[in-house]
Amino acid sequence: MHMARIEAAVRLALEFSQAFNRHDLTALAEILHDNCLLESAHAPGEFPALHGKEPVLRFWEQFFQKVPAAHMQVEEVFGLGSRSVMRWQCEWVDITGRPVRTRGVEIFKVRDGRICEQLSYVKGEGQVGGPTLVQRP
């Protein structure tokens, strides 16, 4: 296996985090596969998986509108072949104006040089994008 292919999944995970922090839908569109899958970090049963680039981009657009202060700090990224795993912390402001931080994991799969699968998992009570999130004043 070529080293560039081995590193692609890690590189794309890092590109995702950078686009997330800029709330950059154009950059996300460039790294998402047309037939991508997103399983959000919401509680089970609250959010079905999204299939296809357009529904996933609409999700991120709504997320960034709802949570404009969301910022992800990458703690660790590792991967091999078509898979990568990224541990992160995310900060935002809840409906009371209180800063909140949670930790989570993204599991990415890459096909044809783009993210084709993103599975999100959150640790603890803070559900990024959940109903307790609002804009910063």
DSSP string covering 57-116, please? HHHHHHHHHH-TT-EEEEEEEEEETTEEEEEEEEEEEETTS-EEEEEEEEEEEEETTEEE
Quote the pLDDT of residue 66: 87
Average pLDDT over residues 57-65: 93
Average per-residue pLDDT in the chain? Answer: 86
* CATH architecture observed for domain 3-134: Roll (3.10)
User: What does the chain come to in residues?
Assistant: 137
**pLDDT tens for each residue of 88-113:** 999 998 878 889 899 999 999 999 99
User: So where are the chain's domains?
Assistant: 3-134
pTM higher than 0.75: yes
Q: Are 26 and 18 in contact (CB under 8 A)?
A: no
